[in-house]
Amino acid sequence: MPEISEIKGKPIPPQLQKLAKFTKLMDSQFKIPGTSITFGIDPIIGLVPYLGDLVDYCISAYLMIAMVKNGASGRAVAKMIINITIDGIVGLIPFLGRIFDVFYKANRRNLILAVEHFEEGKHQGSAWPIVVPIIGILLLIFIAISVIGYYLLSYFFQLLIPV
């Protein structure tokens, strides 16, 4: 895969190149013919009801943690959590969640935050003092999405299979 040199006109630091490639795969690897609309495997994974959203959330959390390991600050990480949480919650909505994934691109937004941190000095400060609470929050959100998905699937199966 070729090196990605910039995102939104901002150069991507060498330490973020692998994350940039993975982010492109998740959010903008493919283009809808005849348009400027791009999408990645994120909305494709999400086609598997609820389980796909959990997998997508885990991948986004992994990317965010990798950015933390590269020195993203607590403020940037908080914004990243908000991005992936919005993506995870809206992603649970059938059909609308897939459309939202195509346009919101949470992983790309998080990469931009990381690039701003490295290239422009924004969001300074280490994230390590809040890493444990962040992982706890991610775990709680993962559990909440799992429970919601379970109850929604149960509800739909009850509608389809009368007792």
Which tens digits make up the pLDDT trace of 34-83? 999 999 998 898 888 778 888 888 888 888 888 777 777 777 787 888 88
Residue 2: pLDDT band (50, 70, 90) is: very low
Residue 105, phi then psi, degrees to nearest 5: 50, 65
Q: Is the pLDDT of residue 1 over 60?
A: no
Among 20, 21, 1, CA closest to 118: 20
Q: Is the pLDDT of residue 128 over 80?
A: no
